[in-house]
Structures are given as structure tokens and as C-alpha cells.
Amino acid sequence: MTASSLLRPFGRGPSLRLTGLVHKQLQLSAYDLAGLSPALGWQLSGPRYGLQGEYGFDYRALGWSSFLLAHRLFASGWVNLERLTLSGSYFARFESYQSDWEPFSGTLQGGEARAALRLGPARVGVAYHLSRDSAKTSELSWWEHGPRAELKLGLGSRTRVGLELGVSWRSYSAASETLGLARADTYLDGAALAEYDLSDHWVARFSLEARRALSNASSFQYTKLVPTLGVGYVMGL
């Protein structure tokens, strides 16, 4: 279960975001995940442009023991050119893993450039991202990049659907002593979503996310399918 709230009292300017999550495993309770993420942000925007910045802090517990503490920075900007919107974003997360996970500690950062075109009730977008995870242990550090494409479509005044496809290539910085090689992974991702306005304030949302991971280390190949059903409440001040 995940719950999130966003307070932006003036539309633009300051904002406060709070997200909490509890993911309970049916059998392996040692992998139960819980977390809390407060964030403070600021937004400047006009009819044709926007700038946004945010600082956040992440706390995660795994098996109800402290797992991760992280400070997070995020910045984005966009420009509207009639039907075309150009945008870019950057994030950095300074991660401090606890206990046996400590070798994963380091800095995760990345950026993305995106273009979206509005065609009537539809919106088509393409993007390219580049990420770098600089962990304390070089064999856990990696570079990742890849494109994605998305389609969003409004069906009447209450219903919206979307589809997203992407591919990412990840290469690790050093060979693993256990594997005897430097990992090189490819991720094929897809997602579909549907939203329906139950009322002026309540929104129902269903999403289905899929990933196929390919790797030169066969033990890291997998297929993942994640369905999510949620309800949101939107309130203006």
C-alpha cells in the first residue's frame, strides 16, 4: 500500500509532499518494505514555461529494520511551443545503506530529455534518459541509458488511458569476483494505465507494469509483472 499527499496552497510557489508505503510479502516477511518520504519544493511557472525544484528525504525499512537513508534533489523545466512541449529533468540521491547493504551506498543521479506533442485528445511523447550509480564498491556501480515512448489518450471527460514502452542498457563498471565478469543488462519495459474520475475529487486508477530483464549473467534474468489498483482524492485549497 502506498499513500501520497501534495500540498501546494498557492498553485505556484512552495509545496509540501509526503509519501508513505508498506509493502507486505505473503510469505517472506524478511522482505517486507516500509518507508516514509517527505519533500519540500518550489515551482515557478508562466503560460509557456515552468521551473521546479525539490529536496526530499527517504527512509526505508526492510523486514522492519533500518535499510536505507537518503537525501534527494530534483530539478525540472519545461517550455510549451503551441502543441509541442519540451522538457528536461535531473535528480540526485545520496544513499546510505545500512548493515549488510552498506556496499551499495553512494550517489545515484540521472537526467532525462523529453518531447511531447498534443494531437487532439491524444498526447505522444518520446524521451531519452542517462543514469549513473556510483556505489562504494565498483562492481556495483553502473551506467544506464535508453529511450522510451508514451501515448496518452482522453476518452471523454472522465476517462484517460495510456501506454508506455522503453528499453534500457546498463553496464557495470567492474567485474564481479563472484560472477567472474562485468554485468551487462538490457531491460525491456512496458506499462498500461487507465484512470476514471469517480467524482469531482475521487479518481480510480489501474496500471499494469511489465519488465523483461536480459543479462550476460543468466542468474539476473527475470520477468516481472506488477498490477496496481488505487483510488486518489484531489482537493484544492
| pLDDT at 224 exceeding the cut of 80 | yes
Instruction: Give per-residue pLDDT as tens, 143-173.
Output: 999 999 999 999 988 999 999 999 999 999 9
- Answer yes or no: is pLDDT of 210 > 60: yes
At 47 the pLDDT is 85
Q: What is the pLDDT of residue 236?
A: 59
Is 204 contained in some domain? Answer: yes
Residue 39 lies in a domain: no
The percent of residues above 70 in pLDDT, for the chain, comes to: 99
pLDDT in tens, 181-198: 999 999 999 999 999 999
Supply the range of the domain harboring residue 63. Answer: 45-233
> 157: helix, coil or strand?
coil
- With CA atoms as reference, report the closest residue to 22 among 58, 67, 64, 57: 64
Q: What are phi and psi of 29, to 5 degrees?
A: -65, -20
Rounded Cα distance between 162 and 123, Å, is 9
pLDDT computed for residue 6 by the predictor:
85
| Helices and strands, number each (H, E), in the chain | 0, 13
The answer to whether position 132 is within a domain reads yes
- Is residue 23 in a domain? no
Q: Is residue 80 part of a domain?
A: yes
40 occurs within a structural domain: no
Per the domain annotation, does 226 fall within a domain? yes
Q: Is 97 exposed, middle or buried (0-12, 13-18, 19+ CB in 10 A)?
A: buried
Q: What does DSSP assign to residue 39?
A: E
Residue 237's pLDDT is: 55
Q: What is the pLDDT of residues 67-125, one digit of tens each?
A: 999 999 999 999 999 899 999 999 999 999 998 889 999 999 999 999 999 999 999 99
Is residue 217 within 8 A of residue 189, CB to CB? The reply is no
What integer pLDDT is reported at residue 7 of this predicted model?
86
Mean model confidence pLDDT for the chain: 93
Per-residue confidence band for 129, with pLDDT thresholds at 50, 70 and 90 = very high
Does residue 3 lie within any of the structural domains? no
For 184, the 3-state DSSP assignment is: strand
What is the domain-level CATH number for residue 213? 2.40.160.10
Q: Which whole number is the average pLDDT over 20-39?
A: 87
- What is the per-residue pLDDT for 154? 94
Structural domain count of the chain: 1
Q: What is the DSSP letter of 104?
A: G
